[in-house]
Each structure stands twice: as structure tokens, then as C-alpha cells.
Amino acid sequence: MLLAQKTAVVTGAANGIGRAIASRLAAEGAALAVLDIDAEALAGVAGDIRGQGGKVLEFVADMTARRAIDQAFDQIAAKLGHVDVLVNNVGGSLRDRAGPFWTVDPSTWQEMVDLCYLPGMACAYRVITGMIAQGGGKIVNIASDSGIVGSRANAAYSAAKAGVVGFTRALARELAPHRINVNAIAPGYIRTRAMDRIPQDLIEKAIAETPLGFMGEPEDIANAVAFLATDQSRYITGQTLIVNGGRWFN
């Protein structure tokens, strides 16, 4: 129960990695606020956490809309008070539109920024003042190994996630004097709904490229988040932890 008496916010919490993160932080004793646009799935997450004795409030919000983010955080402040841990997980690769950069409609560039980059900035903006006032906090941003090594046929996604890494480093420098740790996690291939839309031969190729020889599960990312969200990582800031089964070496 390393997060007992702590309040944590998880965005994009309805499915996959976000759902696993919310469950893991609840298991560590955190009171949770979970945000997502998928109301039905989000209610399921909240119900599961309550069923395990956890405290959670769900907020249905379009994370690409600044007003919706502000409204949700207004309610979080009113109902839960200050935020100790923020996990910026919301995002998506829009794989159904992936292709060589010069063949992708330019509107996709802005969509990637709106979905994968700007929400994390907007959410961090809402919690930083409170964290400074209370003398500390944890911000964990979910990036992607695509933002580090580059993703073939998805340049806009790689660029947005690289922005997350840069934002993490800059914010960590600014907030270190206030004992606020800011780190990122860069997942590789993780078995989520997005993987269901990828042809099996490409899945097998991805596994073959992974030194550990298997695809990660959402819980693998959730465990890394839990480490960075607790005092076990108190001397770590500005880092990007790559969780991809060793595929970085390739």
C-alpha cells in the first residue's frame, strides 16, 4: 500500500494500459480519479476498483478538448482535493491511417498532437500549482519507443511522442526544486485492442524483433508506473524508461 492516503489521476483509463494502471495504483491504496471518453468502459473500470474496496471517481471527458479537461479537474479538486500523482496516459496511434509520411493526410498531424501530446500538458498545468504548495508530487507521462527510435509509417505519432519525452525532461528540470518528480515510460509492443487491428504476420515479426521473445501486457506498463508513482523512485526524475522487451537494442 505504497500510495495510501494519496490521490492519483489517470487519463485514458477505460481500456488497455490505462485500465491496468488505474487498477495497479488502486491496489497500492491510492484514491483515484479516472478520465476517458468511453463512458461504458470507464464505468466498468470504476466498478472493478470499487469491488476491490478502492475509492474512485470517474469523469467522462474528451481529452482533446481543453474545456473538458478543465471541467474534470475542477471537479477533482472539489471532490478529492490536491493531486499527488498524475499519469498522462491518453493517446493513440491512429494505425488505421498509418503510411509513409508523404501519403498521409496532413490533418492527421494535428490529430496526433491533439491526442498524444497536448492533453498531458493541459493536465500537468492543472496539478502543478497544488503539488508545489504541498511540497512534492509525481507526474508520469506515457510516451512510446516510437518517439525514440522512430516508427516506420507513422511519423506523426513518433513526433508527438518525442514531444512527450522532451516535455518530460524540461518539466523535470523546472519542478525538481519543488521535489516534484517528472518521468516518462516508453512502451513497445503491448497486447492491447490496438494490436487486434494489426495483421498476425506483423505481430509475429514484432515478437521476433523482441529479444525477450514475447509481447508485453498492459500490466507490465502498470508496474513501471507504480514504481515511478511511489517514493521508491524519489531520486529519479527527467528519465524515460523504455519497456519493450529489449527491442531497443535492435
Side by side, which strands form the sheet with 56-60? 56-60, 31-36, 7-11, 85-88, 137-142, 180-187, 240-243
Amino acid at 97: R
Strands (E), 166-217: 180-187
Of the listed 117, 125, 157, 235, which one is catalytic? 157
- Label residues 96-121 b or e (16+ Cβ within 10 Å = b): ebbeeeeebeeebbebbbebbbbbbb
Report residue 238 as a C-alpha cell: 527527467
Please, how many CA atoms are within 13 Å of residue 29, restricted to the half-sphere of its CB?
7
Could you give the CA distance from residue 26 to residue 34 in angstroms, rounded to a whole number?
Answer: 11
Is 117 one of the annotated active-site residues of the chain? Answer: no
Beta-carbon count within 10 A of 57 CB: 17
Measured CA to CA, the distance from residue 75 to residue 83 in angstroms comes to: 12
| Residue type (1 letter), 133 | A
Active site residues: 157
